[in-house]
Amino acid sequence: MDDVLHAYIYELKKGTKLMALITVNTYFRERYCEKIKKNHLHCCIQNIGTKDNIFFGTKECIDIVSAFLSKKLHKLTPEQDFILGIMLGYNRSLQCKRYLNKLNSTLSGNMNI
């Protein structure tokens, strides 16, 4: 996992990525956060049981993600899911398709109420 962390830190420092996400055993959380902060990056943590999602990158991205991480990732609104995917650098075209699918699914669900 250290190799993945170091690769992400390299990409963030070079500016090819704005934000990254790693999932680690809660036991290692502090170690990873220290490495992230030592490299002058910001991070926020989402506990998911015995593991933690660690989001890290630019302050602006982390501020945005922190605002909606009280929800589990599968409970994000279509808009929040889209924003997160774009900031993580996922394929933009696929994120647009995912957003439209989630939006249509949400709208279809609301019509049945």
Q: What is the pLDDT of residues 44-86, one digit of tens each?
A: 999 999 999 999 999 999 999 999 988 899 999 999 999 999 9
pTM of the model: 0.88
Fold topology of 1-69: PG1857-like (3.30.2190)
Place of tokens 């609301």: 110
Place of tokens 């995917």: 85
pLDDT tier for residue 106 given thresholds of 50, 70 and 90: confident
Pairing of strands 42-47, 51-57: antiparallel
Find the angle CA(5)-CA(38)-CA(40) to the nearest 5 degrees.
Answer: 90
Cβ atoms 62, 44 nearer than 8 A: yes
